[in-house]
Structure 1
């Protein structure tokens, strides 16, 4: 607010006006229509996190029948108050409970600092004589001279309202009273003077005969007549005062708020009261007994009694958005976007307060984007618009077809893989495909985890030998469930069974089922996962033992040449049986080793089709090398995205497990395939609409994308409903990303955490973000913290643009043909 106060002058005033209408509390800032004051108004709106909008006219201020002004009351008992720990916006909540039609206006100007009358010096001399320690809000730089007026339903209500305003200006320690114009005692004094003159004139004329011997009767009569005529002067003054007082009141009701009045006395007496009532001790307090002392007194109030010098922050509550019972809906104010983000430097995220397109820096996308938003807030909408930008950027138009230079150029390069993790439904996955059809010839492939006939991603493909592939697959399981859930013993057991499962043909399981009388029915799909499940006792210990024997017989057949196969690989697979099915392993010991790891494999077996090796299967390595664009959908399927049926759905635990393991597998494949991609102008964009599902227990992948992913061309874009859903390590990593975007949050603790990150180390001013700002964001409105060239910018608000309402106009919206203003 200090920057706002500095824009005022002794003849340029501004008024904070709070009016209670039938729609709730409305706050206005009334200033002259000049460039400097318009900028000052924007600064004030930022300071109170209010939404600035120009108003053609003020609401009707005539509804309230009674009106009053806050005046200094000499001789009152002062109560010292402090600003420490007090909420400067508490006045807003109090004003929200005013009766309908009531209003409060705080009009401010800068102090006069003339040679004859210097208000700052006079005030400082007076206030320092009243306080201990020399600290007071009015002594701060850029203090203002303020006048407070209020109107309500009755004089009693006005009196209460003015006391309430004075109490909510924390640090305001002057005794006050309610004054209305024209003041009755002034009228009474002038009327009494007129009556006194009239009585004196009449008495003089009556007494003329009695004093004729001393004064000629003609002289006495003339004097009496003159005195009676003089009685007209107080009457005229009274009438003029009444007219002035009514006009003065009318100016407030018409919204033409007058400047706070000046005191015209050339000199004012400073206070001489003792330290017991507040003045700092001086030499006079230690004079010898019997020495003559000055009479203690409060001194002369240095300003007009209807004017007060206030610290710049004290009146701010009259302008702040309210949150009281009658305030109506609260809404976060606009924070304008920094100028660098208005240039064509990357993807558009939305519109600022002036309707200008606000962008993120494409060159800084590698540093990551974190999005927080409650369900149906629009975060998925934002992620898809970022996906659309990447798709568009990969397919620039020929120069002859482009309507702007940027439409024919690529910022990030035309070679890039895009992998999106979608957790809601195939319908949402189909939106990605719709963008692809609109923006060019490149397709988007959807992998539905719940579709038994859909395309699949091979999660066993990394590594040459079965032991390597098994070890890496177990690592993906540890990433999802965490090292506490899969300890060293369980990991060893899992590596053994998956070494066996990945080293033998799946037909061996079919042979075991065909040759065992108590084989599982219906027979499971023969996959490496079902083999591991059987070896972990998933179909009973007897069948597990029978399967192990069948595997050993298969090795014997290969050795004897009775059947084909890679002998070395099968020998490695048989070696994996030693821990559970070695000659010395007892059933009780085997069950103890199987218990913990089998519970994880049981979850994965709830998606038996995902582990099939036939049909449409792709590896992440292939997806990355071919720069494909895929969506991994863990939600319900939809034929709109190419699924075999609608509303096929996996249990949440299964979808979360597969999504998390796929993210880890993607990281491993990226390290194998994408080394040096940044230098080659290639990238891997990883988009997740619900990070809590793919990084539930470990921050490893998220930290890697932020810290090491850049050299591999990784662009991380992650979203979640609220930080509290993430583990502490994952949450900390999310906030370390260079761009953080927040939609409205309902939980005050979550809002506080986001506000703390947005504020950084700032302690005051526009840089401070309040938790209430995060909670009061309107739908599709966001608070954004981002960087340009890794330089952090001020937080701003942006309303997400509805790109999906008109996909065909996307290029022209992001890169308009004409130069943006």
Structure 2
């Protein structure tokens, strides 16, 4: 029986645990968590009560439940997705139109990325998944419970994919369904595109993505009967046996007649297929499959040559309960959303820049490409859609790049974003700050130790601001780094000098500078400084050590400055260098280093992860250290743009910079002016250098007043729902809209302020945001 899910008024819960509990209850009500027993196996076989069919267009959700489903299933299903279920007399009207059907499949070469881990067991949910078909198209999901053999094979497959026990994997959650993903559209090409987009929207983590096939229900019987008929004709020609040809002709005619009687929506009712082979599907092991979670090859690298491959039939996907609940949820206030959306102004009818969203009648609304250089800012709460819009802007930029242009994205959630960007943007390269196996930007650059130390000290001061790194702290950092670089360049001589001074030799220049700045105590600092001076034995080394530690009193032979006084003088630079020393992977001696200059000169598509590491075997970075590294990377990039990119705008070259979360590049405390000058420089002077800046943040209150004023002066501003009254007031003034509008924005809707191609002001536009992460055109 068909039901339409109508959204309830008000906002749904933001509590992920409540959302997950409701999703599990919904999965149990649909029979997805049931397993047969001796008392129930016959009833399950003869009376199908599990699963459902979910049908979705851009604004509506319909479900068809089995006739034998329990009477309270519609109520539990509706409660799980913040809706009410209204019974229908027949199928939804969208199925009456002549449509071509297609279904998604998993390619033979697909593997699972890091995003397939995590999930409900780890405290995360996929409550932002959604279906966003194009105008005139529909997406359908046909669900059933997993089979007994499927669950065992899935466990072996996930264990081999991640080289670890899959017990906490989201695809092993109770209530995970088997689903067939289908789409229908007026043309076959559109149906294939929508089917692949819908499967990618499940967020299962397949890399590089999924494929789609045209659906031809009941054609299998026709092909089998035709093959039998050909064999029968061959038997008659070879041996003169005529009766098999008569039988085969009857079977072929019956198969063709059965195919001809197919209803237009026959493909909708095809249940997810089982993988019926006795043996599980296997594949040849790659080099990556031998790597253990703790680095290097595991103990079976010379024994295992084959691994478990995809556990399901290729047109069947696993679907966790939280993703099912998110996909089933109807767009909140669907009728109100259509009424609140703006109509595209005539001034933007011919704009050919990035896609901002869709207007009230589904027409694309783009910003003029000529105003991108003047900055774009996206503001919205976590899960509101900010990253999705950011990826859409990046995809447009990638499609309009010259070979020598650069696209650089500083990502706060690389664990989630990297698989999406690798699928959306061809040729994207990735750098993970916390993972020493990936390259890293060199903070020191080229030159002699003095020049490198001065460059790093200037980088620290520019990244963190004068309030955190003043002139005195900058000079102390420069002295400590220069002395460290020179001493470490001496090699074994410095190691022997440290041993003679009774101190362990530092592992790298950051650790050495941290020690010189009293990071490991006064005794270790003075011992390392003495070892460095004795090794180098020149006036520059002695002067640097004296500037740091105050020298020695010639009358008493004791330090001229007490340990307590030195600690007070060195505490500010010590704390900042200590944050860097707490992340040894960033400056690991064996890590491949590259400079911003080399990147900009050659052109690249690069995503840098500043957040939780993508690899499961990599240690995370604490919040303060992450912001410090992000600030150094951004400041270094700004300086290199100024040094390298002069005149690029006149030659048509571009460097497009995207910062997913602005607080990640504002310094260790995020509130005292770090990199504000860099953002202001990019806003006011970037055009002559071919630089374009796009930034995002969650709330304007997270930033200091100067930086907030700077980004709200960008030419293009996008704002998702702002529930906080103070945030709504600030953004309402910037967008010239009523703050109540921002507080009541539905999910996946954004208010934009931009200008026409001549810089003329336009009223704020409320637009529906396409699902760029699933492959929507940008």
Scaled by the length of structure 2, the TM-score of the pair is 0.53
In structure 2, which of residues 449, 452, 464 is the aligned counterpart of residue 481 of structure 1? 464
Contact 2:357 2:769 (C-alpha < 8 Å) held by counterparts? yes
Deviation at 1:337, TM superposition (A): 2.4
Report the counterpart of residue 773 of structure 1 in structure 2: 741
Q: Which moved more, 1:735-744 or 1:472-481?
A: 472-481
Deviation at 1:694, TM superposition (A): 0.8
Contact 1:426 1:448 (C-alpha < 8 Å) held by counterparts? no
In structure 2, which of residues 503, 517, 522 is the aligned counterpart of residue 541 of structure 1? 522
- Cα distance between partner residues in 2 of 1:391 and 1:635: 23
The question of 1:468 aligning with 2:451 is answered yes
Report the counterpart of residue 328 of structure 2 in structure 1: none
In structure 2, relative to structure 1, the CA distance for the partners of 1:348 and 1:513 (3 Å cut) is farther
Deviation at 1:552, TM superposition (A): 2.1
Secondary structure at the counterpart of residue 721 of structure 2: coil
Report the counterpart of residue 713 of structure 1 in structure 2: 690
Report the counterpart of residue 703 of structure 2 in structure 1: 726
In structure 2, which of residues 399, 419, 425 is the aligned counterpart of residue 430 of structure 1? 419
The question of 1:586 aligning with 2:554 is answered no
Report the counterpart of residue 323 of structure 2 in structure 1: none
Secondary structure at the counterpart of residue 531 of structure 1: helix
- Cα distance between partner residues in 2 of 1:591 and 1:24: 60
Which structure 2 segments of 5+ residues have no match? 1-5, 11-57, 60-332, 554-559
- Cα distance between partner residues in 2 of 1:610 and 1:24: 49
The question of 1:637 aligning with 2:616 is answered no
Deviation at 1:742, TM superposition (A): 0.4
Contact 2:449 2:486 (C-alpha < 8 Å) held by counterparts? yes
Report the counterpart of residue 320 of structure 2 in structure 1: none
Deviation at 1:704, TM superposition (A): 0.6
Contact 1:368 1:738 (C-alpha < 8 Å) held by counterparts? yes
Q: What's the C-alpha RMSD, in Å, of the aligned pairs?
A: 2.9
- Cα distance between partner residues in 1 of 2:644 and 2:512: 30
Deviation at 1:612, TM superposition (A): 3.1
Contact 1:580 1:593 (C-alpha < 8 Å) held by counterparts? no
In structure 2, relative to structure 1, the CA distance for the partners of 1:740 and 1:24 (3 Å cut) is closer
- Matched residue count: 436
State the Cα deviation string for residues 105-161 of structure 1 (Å, max 9, x = none).
Answer: xxxxxxxxxxxxxxxxxxxxxxxxxxxxxxxxxxxxxxxxxxxxxxxxxxxxxxxxx
In structure 2, which of residues 374, 383, 401 is the aligned counterpart of residue 376 of structure 1? 383
Deviation at 1:628, TM superposition (A): 1.3
Q: Which moved more, 1:416-425 or 1:339-348?
A: 339-348
Matches within 5 A, 1:462-611: 464-506=447-489, 507=491, 511=495, 515-516=499-500, 518-520=502-504, 526-556=507-537, 572-581=540-549, 582-584=551-553, 585-588=560-563, 589-611=565-587
Contact 2:344 2:363 (C-alpha < 8 Å) held by counterparts? no
- Cα distance between partner residues in 1 of 2:690 and 2:334: 48
Contact 2:735 2:753 (C-alpha < 8 Å) held by counterparts? yes
Contact 1:493 1:593 (C-alpha < 8 Å) held by counterparts? no
State the Cα deviation string for residues 324-379 of structure 1 (Å, max 9, x = none).
Answer: xxx99986812222223232421112211110011111111110001100000111
- Cα distance between partner residues in 2 of 1:637 and 1:385: 23
Report the counterpart of residue 363 of structure 1 in structure 2: 370
Secondary structure at the counterpart of residue 638 of structure 1: coil
In structure 1, which of residues 452, 468, 472 is the aligned counterpart of residue 436 of structure 2? 452
- Cα distance between partner residues in 2 of 1:421 and 1:458: 16
Matches within 5 A, 1:122-133: none
- Cα distance between partner residues in 1 of 2:493 and 2:596: 27
Report the counterpart of residue 744 of structure 1 in structure 2: 721
Deviation at 1:794, TM superposition (A): 1.6
Q: Which moved more, 1:509-518 or 1:658-667?
A: 509-518
In structure 2, relative to structure 1, the CA distance for the partners of 1:505 and 1:736 (3 Å cut) is same
- Cα distance between partner residues in 2 of 1:345 and 1:743: 23
Looking at CA atoms only, which structure, 1 or 2, has the larger radius of gyration?
1
State the Cα deviation string for residues 69-124 of structure 1 (Å, max 9, x = none).
Answer: xxxxxxxxxxxxxxxxxxxxxxxxxxxxxxxxxxxxxxxxxxxxxxxxxxxxxxxx
- Cα distance between partner residues in 1 of 2:592 and 2:497: 26
Deviation at 1:509, TM superposition (A): 9.1
Which structure 1 segments of 5+ residues have no match? 1-20, 26-52, 55-326, 395-412, 438-442, 557-569, 640-644, 760-768, 815-821
Matches within 5 A, 1:800-819: 800-806=769-775, 810=777
The question of 1:617 aligning with 2:588 is answered no
Secondary structure at the counterpart of residue 377 of structure 2: strand
Scaled by the length of structure 1, the TM-score of the pair is 0.50
State the Cα deviation string for residues 35-89 of structure 1 (Å, max 9, x = none).
Answer: xxxxxxxxxxxxxxxxxx99xxxxxxxxxxxxxxxxxxxxxxxxxxxxxxxxxxx
Contact 1:491 1:597 (C-alpha < 8 Å) held by counterparts? yes
Deviation at 1:668, TM superposition (A): 0.8
Report the counterpart of residue 346 of structure 2 in structure 1: 339
In structure 1, which of residues 649, 656, 675 is the aligned counterpart of residue 627 of structure 2? 656
